[in-house]
């Protein structure tokens, strides 16, 4: 028996492929985050731009953030967006905390990158909240959906 041709359409397995590719991409970033010392803002921004951005662009059109998704696949589709936005929020979160506790003065090295990290963190957090709200308001409310969304 031969392998069939892959479909360009959304299938039952599109989400797993996307989740798996996401984790394969970000595991090296996570390893840096989980090992002391914590990466610099500059390092994380570079990793974000060189790993996560290309990964996001590689998602097939049928499963992109803006794609029209059939109701039964909307949870798995939303979970992907929540996953990557949450991960980026985590990446940059220490810089927000640090910025709140120790307001940085002009002239401090890496200040611009730290501020960019804070902006990215806040942007991803806000986008994640909005995505969850959108999902919750526009789909059937299941217990599984609630487990992920709430």
Instruction: Give the footprint of another protein on this chain (CB under 8 A).
Output: 1-9, 11-21, 23-25, 27-28, 30-31, 34, 51, 55, 58-60, 72-73, 75-76, 79, 83, 87, 90, 142-144, 147
The residue among 13 and 109 lying less far from another protein, judged by its C-beta, is 13
DSSP structural state of residue 69:
-
Helix (H/G/I), strand (E/B), else coil: 137 = helix
Give the tokens for residue 58. Answer: 């590689």
Closest separation between CB of residue 130 and another protein, Å? Answer: 21
The angle formed by the CA atoms of residues 85, 96 and 20, to the nearest 5 degrees, is: 25
The residue among 107 and 143 lying less far from another protein, judged by its C-beta, is 143
C-beta neighbour count of 59 within 10 angstroms: 19
The residue among 57 and 100 lying less far from another protein, judged by its C-beta, is 57
């Amino acid at each position: 028996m031969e392998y069939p041709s892959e479909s360009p359409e959304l299938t039952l397995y599109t989400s797993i492929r996307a989740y798996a590719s996401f984790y394969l991409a970000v595991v090296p970033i996570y390893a840096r985050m989980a090992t002391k010392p914590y990466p610099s803002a500059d390092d994380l921004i570079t990793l974000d731009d060189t790993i996560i951005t290309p990964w996001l662009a590689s998602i097939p059109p049928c499963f992109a953030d803006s794609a029209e998704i059939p109701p039964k696949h909307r949870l798995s589709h939303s979970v992907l967006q929540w996953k990557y936005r949450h991960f980026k929020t985590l990446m940059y979160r220490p810089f927000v905390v640090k910025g709140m506790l120790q307001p940085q003065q002009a002239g401090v090295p890496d200040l611009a990158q730290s501020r960019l990290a804070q902006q990215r963190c806040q942007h991803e957090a806000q986008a994640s909240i909005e995505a969850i709200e959108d999902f919750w308001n526009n789909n059937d409310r299941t217990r599984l959906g609630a487990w992920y969304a709430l």
